[in-house]
């Protein structure tokens, strides 16, 4: 078995629900026991941690902890970020995550599959190529959840995104 790219990494997970943090910790440490996993349950704590420590990866909830503000802070420090959400699971938040330079956007109901998503952040260093892979993995889920025409209201953005990621000719 190949060693996980998460081994040896320092990861910060931020969510206002402690049980979500426990599941993340179990999933990640179960596959990558040599990574350092830290957690925060509030915006203030997370912001202080992001300002005072270096992380290899940050996982952010959107609702409850001001996730987009934390995303802005983490990206300003050149930290890769995966957005994780249940309550802000919608095409607008996906688009905003991409525009704000998050590296992934994952539904909380997919937490049992989070390790391969996080590993791909380290395996594919190019931002748009990483998003192309993320969308290949999740587009069927998004279509089932939001309907086949979920990109329609933002058609221009998605057409440009697909062109940049090489997903269309």
Q: Which domain holds residue 15?
A: 10-124
| 132 found inside a domain | no
Task: Tell me the CATH number at 100.
Answer: 3.40.50.2300
Average pLDDT, the chain: 90
Q: Cα separation of 138 and 22, whole Å? A: 24
Residue 7 has pLDDT above 50, yes or no: yes
What pLDDT, on a 0 to 100 scale, did the predictor assign at position 1?
A: 54
Residue 60 lies in a domain: yes
Contact 128, 165 (CB under 8 A): yes
CB 51 within 8 A of CB 12: no
Supply the pLDDT for residue 137. Answer: 86
Contacts of 155 (CB under 8 A, 6+ apart): none
- The SS3 assignment for 119 reads helix
Q: What is the pLDDT of residues 113-153, one digit of tens each?
A: 899 989 988 887 677 778 888 888 888 999 999 998 898 88
Q: What is the pLDDT of residue 87?
A: 86
Q: What percent of the chain has pLDDT over 90?
A: 63
**In this structure, is residue 151 part of a structural domain?**
no
Please tell me the least confidently modeled range out of 58-67, 89-98, 152-161.
Answer: 152-161
User: Looking at residues 5-25, what average pLDDT do you find?
Assistant: 95
**Cβ-contact 134, 142 below 8 angstroms:** no
Whether residue 157 is contained in a domain is answered as no
What the block records as the tokens of 142 is 């998004």
Q: Where are the beta strands (DSSP E) in the chain?
A: 10-14, 36-40, 57-61, 81-85, 104-107
List the alpha helices (DSSP H) in 53-113: 67-76, 91-99
Tell me, what's the pLDDT at 129?
A: 78
135 within some domain: no
Angle between helices 127-146 and 114-123 (to 10 degrees): 150
Identify the DSSP state of 167: S
Question: Above 90 in pLDDT, residue 100?
Answer: yes
Residue 167: predicted pLDDT: 59
* pLDDT tens by residue, 106-115: 999 988 889 9
Q: What SS3 state is found at 99? A: helix
Residue 152 lies in a domain: no
Q: pLDDT for 26-45, tens place per residue?
A: 999 999 999 999 999 999 99
Number of domains in the chain: 1
Q: CA 163 from chain center: how many Å?
A: 22
Question: Do residues 79 and 13 touch, judged by C-beta distance below 8 A?
Answer: no
Instruction: Kindly state whether residue 90 falls inside one of the protein's structural domains.
Output: yes
For the whole model, what pTM was predicted?
Answer: 0.91
């Amino acid at each position: 078995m190949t060693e996980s790219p998460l081994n040896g990494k320092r990861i910060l997970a931020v969510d206002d629900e402690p049980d979500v943090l426990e599941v993340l910790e179990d999933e990640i440490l179960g596959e990558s026991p040599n990574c350092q996993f830290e957690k925060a349950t509030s915006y203030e704590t997370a912001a202080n941690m992001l300002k005072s420590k270096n992380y290899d990866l940050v996982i952010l909830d959107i609702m409850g902890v001001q996730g987009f503000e934390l995303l802005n802070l983490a990206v300003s420090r050149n930290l890769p970020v995966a957005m994780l959400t249940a309550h802000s699971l919608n095409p607008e938040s996906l688009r905003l995550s991409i525009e704000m330079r998050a590296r992934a956007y994952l539904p909380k109901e997919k937490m049992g599959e989070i390790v391969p998503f996080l590993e791909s952040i380290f395996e594919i260093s190019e931002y748009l190529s990483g998003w192309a892979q993320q969308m290949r993995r999740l587009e069927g889920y998004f279509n089932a959840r939001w309907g086949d025409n979920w990109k329609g209201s933002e058609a221009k953005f998605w057409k440009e995104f697909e062109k940049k990621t090489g997903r269309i000719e």
